[in-house]
Amino acid sequence: TIPSTTTLSDLEDYYVWYNYMNADKTVEIVNYMKEEVEGGRQIFYPIYSEEEMRENPDKRNTGLFFFRGNPDSKFAIVNAGWCSVQPITEITVEDYDKAFNLDVRAVVDLTTRALPMIMETKGNIINLSSVGATHPAANLSMYTGAKAAIENFTRVWALELALKGVELMRLLQEQ
């Protein structure tokens, strides 16, 4: 519980990620994923090549989940992120690679691969952002840096794709 006397400058001590989770919805999603896999449909797509995963087996489970919508419906992409909570004095290049590969590279890769379907359906791209992109908190430089990149990609892609009938949006997650 955050005391009522807490000021804005004190909030970084209470960095809250998720404050509400619906257990029924979580079970529903997990069961859906299980049914898709049991039905032989691929829902997980690695973001690393086979060569990269052979060189570093930790990369094997890093990727994106993709769920098909209804036929002839608009197409959308929603992406999330990962965060290393540590000060710059402890960050390694490997931490940078992990954050930017998942939070940025994965978004670019998925977007460019799905773009033909998105343009064909005049669909939408929805990128998840964070207030951390413009209001960073201590010990979150990798996450806020990656989200700032997504913020700017979303703005640029919106300009590039508007005349093709594709709308880009961003959902801002509060910290």
Distance in angstroms (rounded) separating the CA atoms of residues 143 and 48 = 20
Q: Which is the catalytic residue, given 48, 59, 141, 143?
A: 143
Q: Which is the catalytic residue, given 48, 98, 141, 147?
A: 147
Task: Examine the residue annotation and report whether 130 is marked as an active-site residue of this protein.
Answer: yes
Across the chain, the runs of DSSP E, i.e. the strands, are 44-46, 63-65, 124-130, 167-173
Q: Which is the catalytic residue, given 48, 59, 98, 129?
A: 129
Distance in angstroms (rounded) separating the CA atoms of residues 35 and 29 = 10
Distance in angstroms (rounded) separating the CA atoms of residues 128 and 170 = 6
Q: Which is the catalytic residue, given 48, 98, 130, 141?
A: 130
Task: Examine the residue annotation and report whether 129 is marked as an active-site residue of this protein.
Answer: yes
Q: Which residues are catalytic?
A: 129-130, 143, 147
